Amino acid sequence: MGSGLSQTVQLWERLVEGLSGGKCVGDARYVHVSAVPEALRDALDAVIACAGCTPADVDVVKVSRARPRVSLLRYPGFFTEGFPTLTASWRVDLSTGDTERRSYRADANPPVLHRKEQMLAEGDARRALFAQLTADAEARGLFTDLTIIGHRDQWDEELRARGLMVQGHTLVARTDEAPVLRHRTAMARRALSTPMQALWRHGYLTTEHTVLDYGCGRGDDLSALHAIGLEASGWDPYFRPDGARAEADVVNLGFVLNVIEDVAERADALTRAYGFARRVLAVSALVGGRTAFERYRLFRDGVLTSRGTFQKYFAHAELGAYITEVLGREPVSVGPGLYFVFRTDEAEQDFLERRQRSGLTTAPTPARAHAPPAERTAKPRAARTASTPRGARLSPLDQHPELVEAYWRACLALGRLPRDVEFAGLAELTERVGSPGLVLRRLIERHGEGVYEAARGRRKGDLAVFLALNLFERRRSAGTLSERTRLDVREFWGSLPKAADDAKALLFSLRAPDTIAAACEASAAAGVGHLVAGDSLHLDARLANDLPPALRVYIGCAGKLYGEAQDADVVKIHIASGKVSLLTYDDYEGAAIPLLIERVKVDLRRQQIHYFQYGEEFAPQPLYLKSRYMHPNLEGYAAQKAFDDRLLALTQFDWSEHGPPLSEVQEALSE
């Protein structure tokens, strides 16, 4: 390298240290030539000469502070275009004198320049105009992901996705957008939609409730509700624009938010739907990610599909946060992409308490054998039955068996004496049989004290789970308990502070893997779930509320991120890793060997969810010996157990882990 260039490097190095202003990216500083100090002009001219270009070719100078390297950049639209593109560059390595030139005129996707006001001198009058454009772009979220806006095609796509275009140094709404065909997203259904099924499951679709389907599409849900005698109305801007939009006890906003491309209109739809709900609003939206095709069709904050429809894909937690932001009320997670929003705190707490009630595996309790009544010579007051000894007088309990049996079941469900509003036949019971307390004592003598105490234990466990999950979720409504729940708390703990202490202890106990391990072992010993010693407990999701309280709280914590475990088919509780897996199978209840189609792993320690799809990404796994995860009280258990016994008779197979290939099992069964 010549002495002249060596001197230029020395001069350049000294001046770079004192160079101020410009746009800094990593170790490089970008400065417009108009902002280069006079003291640097000779050095810049020397670099330009070394590069083999002219001063008229250079708009921006890029200086590397880590090594003696300079790039000269040509942006012919620097002052006329809001976001100019690069047309040519020259790079000079001052330590070797090597130069490299590149033209971008033939490049289909050249780099694009942002925040150009930073490259001008502080006193340049043009900075204000350029800075206003940058501020507008930031406010509209255009710079949210800097990794995708560095080149013209991706930048143009981002602008188009948000319905914008650049005119000079101003962002304006696009005028060339293709229409979004929202009505094409309406699906024809043969069964109730997912949110309607959830409303049905939780007892909100009854003759006691009116229903409004806001955005009802083709009206298939309405037809199904009308067929069972429910009072339901619907409105849809395309299919039913004249439908009534009036207040109802229950309002469904099913898969509507995700098809509205206008952000303000989307929030307005949510607000209006909630305004019609007297008791509860069900909100659902698509969850998941974009397909490979859709990733290249960004539009606003979602995508345009091949059918001309818009889809905004929500993460489950994102949808919950959005509902909270728009309505100012925290929703309750019910399923993936599905939330309930209640009108009052009391209605919310009532729902949260009711969905923690157990009892699916509790079989009806047979009456204990007791001595027959003593024979009397007097004529009995009630007619004798075939099983009544001649001359025997029926006790008041036996004179009204249906009433007494209903009362006993109510006592078992509550774990205490019911009130008038909890048992409609209380006055009749008092008149015909005796005082409620006396009748309960007689029934305990007949059925056994252990039966009643077990029922009280289950009810107290249900309440402890409810209170612990309230504590975990830190719900604002937690202080508004229903009168019934307050009565329960006084019955089982004496006071709310004592109940809260027990709930806190239950929640914090889950930090110890030994707590999970012991609860899994106890559950398997009680016939709820299949235990893989030291590893995990697997169970039919319908049995989730029959687990020990610790495991129910554990699953409930996962529900904060995912929704209800009952939306899956099988729940896998990992004993040591702090995870819960929710598995969904193809025709789980109908198939003897169902195939896995989705696995959702909820990491409670990291508060993360991982989705695994089977069929494309992974080969579907068969579920063998399904009866191990079931309980004899579940529908279909007997047939499944008989089939599984046939499988176990095929001693040539190893049924541990995932088991043998399904094709081999099918061949063996056919033989």
Q: How much is the CA Rg of the chain, to the nearest whole Å?
A: 35
Instruction: Answer yes or no: are the C-beta atoms of 24 and 31 closer than 8 Å.
Output: no
Q: How many CA atoms lie within 13 A of 109 on its CB side?
A: 9
Instruction: Answer yes or no: are the C-beta atoms of 112 and 155 closer than 8 Å.
Output: yes
Which 3 state secondary structure label does DSSP give 557?
helix
Tell me the H-state helices in 19-126. 41-51
Which residues, 6 or more positions from 519, have their beta carbon under 8 angstroms from its beta carbon?
547, 548, 550, 551, 554
Domains of the chain: 1-177 (no CATH), 182-343 (3.40.50.150), 360-366+399-509 (no CATH), 512-670 (no CATH)
How many degrees, rounded to 5, is the angle at CA 382 between CA 376 and CA 384? 75
Instruction: Answer yes or no: are the C-beta atoms of 447 and 368 closer than 8 Å.
Output: yes
Which residues, 6 or more positions from 202, have their beta carbon under 8 angstroms from its beta carbon?
334, 340, 351, 354, 355
Q: Residue 376's pLDDT is what?
A: 39
Instruction: Calculate the CA 473 to chain-centre distance.
Output: 14
- Least confident stretch, 82-96, 147-161, 195-209, 436-450: 147-161
| Cα–Cα dist 491/478, whole Å | 19
pLDDT tens, position by position, 568-609: 899 999 999 989 999 999 889 989 999 998 898 999 888 888
pLDDT tens, position by position, 408-446: 999 999 999 999 888 999 999 999 999 999 999 999 999
Share of the chain above pLDDT 90, in %: 47
Residue 209 has pLDDT above 60, yes or no: yes
293 versus 469: the higher-pLDDT residue is 469
Q: Residue 372's pLDDT is what?
A: 38
Q: Residue 58's pLDDT is what?
A: 93
Calculate the dihedral angle through the C-alpha atoms of 617, 622, 627, 631, rounding to the nearest 10 degrees: 10
Q: Residue 655's pLDDT is what?
A: 87
Which 3 state secondary structure label does DSSP give 230?
coil
Share of the chain above pLDDT 70, in %: 85
Instruction: Categorize the per-residue pLDDT at 15 as very low, low, confident or very high, splitting at 50, 70 and 90.
Output: low
| Cα–Cα dist 485/472, whole Å | 18
Instruction: Categorize the per-residue pLDDT at 10 as very low, low, confident or very high, splitting at 50, 70 and 90.
Output: low
Instruction: Calculate the CA 451 to chain-centre distance.
Output: 39
Q: Which residues pair with 333 in a beta bridge?
A: 339
How many degrees, rounded to 5, is the angle at CA 210 between CA 208 and CA 216? 145
Instruction: Answer yes or no: are the C-beta atoms of 614 and 596 closer than 8 Å.
Output: yes
Average pLDDT, the chain: 84
Q: Is 243 left (phi over 0), alpha (psi -120 to 50) or beta?
A: beta
Burial letters for 313-322: b for 16+ Cβ neighbours within 10 Å, e otherwise?
Answer: bbebeebbeb
Amino acid (1-letter code) at residue 215: G
Q: Residue 108's pLDDT is what?
A: 73
Q: Which two tokens stand for residue 609?
A: 């969810």
pLDDT tens, position by position, 507-554: 999 989 999 999 999 999 999 999 999 899 999 999 999 999 999 999
Q: Residue 294's pLDDT is what?
A: 42
